[in-house]
């Protein structure tokens, strides 16, 4: 950003210019025949790092200052002409960037100061930032342009453990239109989720801005992402599963639009209680108990169903809401018989759209919320899937060590 504090005062005589090899004390004397010597600006501009420096740190290294005067213009640009946003301090005598510079980037600096008499002095320099040996990136969800349910958080999983979590989080912003407060919460050192206090309002546009290029996760490990991602929140749909009554009600935009019978986890393997977000939709998928710890004495899965229809994931540990064609029709609405999933009546092959599971699948999107209550199980952990809604706002926003 160009810091323009006052109208430019042209230096009498030669143009204001220079490089790091200049003295930095302004244009010289000179003048036509018979004229008196022209005054020089007393302002002196200093630029750190020096002109031509390589391997410059992305934070804390760039500083532009003026003595015997004040800075009136500071312009720092990369090779594409993009300006670096900065701020003045110390009575307009010091300029520093607001954030990190980008790695392996050449920057040009043009700074002008003027003294108390309004005479200007200028200085230019260029330098190149560090080429990192190690980098990190964040894999984010949801995707750019996606339409999601009201429960979808912004979730970022990093490919390296982050030691300097505060610096990395400061390089990420999540904004909403219409505006709402959004805060981040770390789950360990490799996952950072963002959410508002309550579910997003239907129709909200959410933007994730990653400004991680140049941010140090730890000494010698730099981010390399500079990216904006936007997604839209669709209609509000929250479905409530009651394990005791074996019923599920689907509420859309504040109105219950459908109720259907279900089966949930058997007493030996009850379904998690709590608020769970649909993270994946699979029309047909295979479910093998061995992948989630349900094995027999021979180490084989207690079940292996190769064609589970209309499956939607609710947790990383294997909780789905899905179609069930192997239980009798009388089971739904009367008994809990699953290994922890929520089952809806269906047919093999997922080919009958009149079945409850097909209807629910076709009327759900990633980010919709499924709330389970009255189960004999504990509340699902907030990091088991995208289920941070099970933390109160005070817990979500509390300082983290």
Q: What is the CATH number of the domain that holds 74?
A: 2.60.40.3780
Q: Is 188 left (phi over 0), alpha (psi -120 to 50) or beta?
A: left
Spatial neighbors of 222 by CB under 8 A, at least 6 apart, are 58, 103, 130, 132, 134, 135, 136, 213, 214, 215, 216
Handedness of CA 321, 327, 332, 338 (dihedral sign): negative
Residue finishing a domain among 203, 234, 265 = 234
How far apart CA 359 and CA 9 sit, in angstroms, is 72
Can you give the pLDDT at residue 7? 38
Q: Last residue of some domain: 105, 131, 157?
A: 131
DSSP state of 390: G
Question: Which is nearest to 171 in space by CA: 219, 226, 210?
Answer: 210
Of 192, 60, 182, 74, which is closest to residue 130 (Cα–Cα)?
60
Q: Let me know whether 143 and 246 are in one domain.
A: no
- The answer to whether residues 215 and 251 belong to one domain is no
Q: Give the separation between CA 77 and CA 127, rounded to whole angstroms.
A: 11
Q: Are residues 115 and 90 in the same domain?
A: yes
**Residue that terminates a domain, selected from 193, 213, 234:** 234
Active site residue ranges: 322, 341
pTM (2 d.p.): 0.83
With tokens 């769970």, the residue in question is: 276
Mean pLDDT by 10 residues, the chain (401 residues): 38 36 41 57 98 96 98 97 97 96 97 97 97 96 98 98 97 98 98 98 98 96 96 98 98 98 96 98 86 67 84 97 97 96 97 97 98 98 98 97 82
Considering the domain architecture, whether residues 3 and 90 belong to the same structural domain is answered as: yes
Residue 86 included in any domain: yes
- The domain in which residue 264 lies consists of 237-390
Distance of CA 246 to the CA centre of its chain: 38
* 190 within some domain: yes
Strand 221-223 to 216-218 pairing: antiparallel
Q: Is 255 part of a structural domain of the chain? A: yes
- How many Cβ atoms sit within 10 Å of the Cβ of residue 308? 25
Q: Does 153 share its domain with 86?
A: no
* Total tally of structural domains belonging to the chain: 3
For residue 295, what are the contacts with CB-CB under 8 A and spacing of at least 6? 289, 301, 302
Same domain? 117 vs 142: no
> In Å, how far are 323, 341, 359, 389 from 346, measured between CA atoms?
5, 14, 10, 30
What are 143's two structure tokens?
Answer: 């995707």
CA separation for the pair 360, 247 (Å, rounded)? 13
- Clarify whether residues 284 and 195 are in a common domain: no
Residue 147 domain-assigned? yes
User: Does 203 lie in the same domain as 154?
Assistant: yes
CA 375 distance to own-chain centroid? 33
Looking at the fold, whether 143 and 124 belong to one and the same domain comes out as no
Strands 147-148 and 226-233: parallel
Which pLDDT score, from 0 to 100, does residue 227 have? 95
Residue 80 lies inside a defined structural domain of this protein: yes
Whether the link from the prior residue into 276 is cis, omega within 30° of 0, is no
Q: Is residue 18 part of a domain?
A: yes
222-244 b/e (C-beta count within 10 Å ≥ 16 → b): bbebeeebebbbbebbbbbbbbe
Residue 396 falls within a domain, yes or no? no
Domain membership flag for residue 365: yes
Altogether, the residues listed in the chain come to a count of: 401
**243 and 386 part of one domain:** yes
């Amino acid at each position: 950003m160009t810091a323009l504090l006052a109208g430019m005062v042209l230096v009498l005589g030669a143009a204001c210019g220079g490089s790091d090899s200049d003295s930095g004390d302004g244009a010289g004397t000179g003048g036509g025949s018979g004229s008196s010597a022209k005054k020089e600006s007393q302002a002196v501009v200093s630029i750190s790092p020096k002109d031509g420096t390589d391997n410059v740190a992305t934070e804390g290294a760039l500083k532009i200052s003026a003595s015997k005067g004040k800075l009136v213009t500071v312009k720092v640009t990369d090779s594409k002409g993009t300006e670096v946003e900065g701020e003045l301090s110390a009575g307009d005598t010091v300029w520093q960037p607001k954030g990190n510079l980008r790695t392996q980037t050449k920057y040009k600096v043009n700074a002008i100061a003027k003294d108390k008499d309004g005479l200007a002095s200028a200085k230019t320099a260029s330098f190149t930032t560090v080429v990192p040996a190690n980098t990190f990136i964040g894999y984010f969800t949801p995707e750019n342009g996606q339409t999601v349910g009201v429960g979808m958080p912004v979730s970022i999983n990093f490919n390296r453990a982050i030691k300097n979590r505060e610096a990395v989080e400061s390089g990420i912003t999540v904004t909403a239109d219409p505006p709402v407060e959004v805060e981040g919460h770390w789950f360990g050192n490799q996952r950072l989720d963002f959410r508002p206090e309550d579910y997003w309002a239907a129709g909200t546009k959410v933007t994730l801005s990653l400004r991680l290029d140049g941010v140090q996760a730890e000494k010698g490990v730099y981010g390399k992402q500079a990216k904006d991602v936007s997604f839209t929140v669709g209609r509000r749909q929250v479905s409530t599963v009651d394990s005791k009554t074996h019923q599920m009600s689907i509420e859309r935009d504040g109105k219950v639009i459908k109720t259907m019978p279900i089966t949930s986890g058997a007493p030996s393997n009850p379904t998690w209680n709590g608020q769970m977000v649909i993270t994946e939709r699979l029309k047909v998928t295979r479910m093998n108990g061995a992948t989630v710890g349900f094995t027999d004495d021979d180490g084989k899965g207690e079940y292996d169903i190769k064609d589970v229809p209309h499956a939607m994931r609710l947790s990383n540990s294997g909780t789905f809401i899905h179609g069930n064609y192997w239980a009798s029709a009388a089971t739904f609405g009367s008994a809990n018989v699953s290994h922890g999933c929520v089952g809806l009546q269906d047919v093999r092959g997922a080919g009958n759209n009149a079945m409850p599971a097909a209807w629910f699948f076709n009327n759900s999107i990633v980010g919709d919320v499924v709330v389970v209550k009255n189960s004999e199980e504990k509340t699902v952990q907030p990091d088991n899937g995208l289920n941070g809604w099970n933390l109160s706002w005070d817990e979500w926003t509390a300082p983290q060590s």
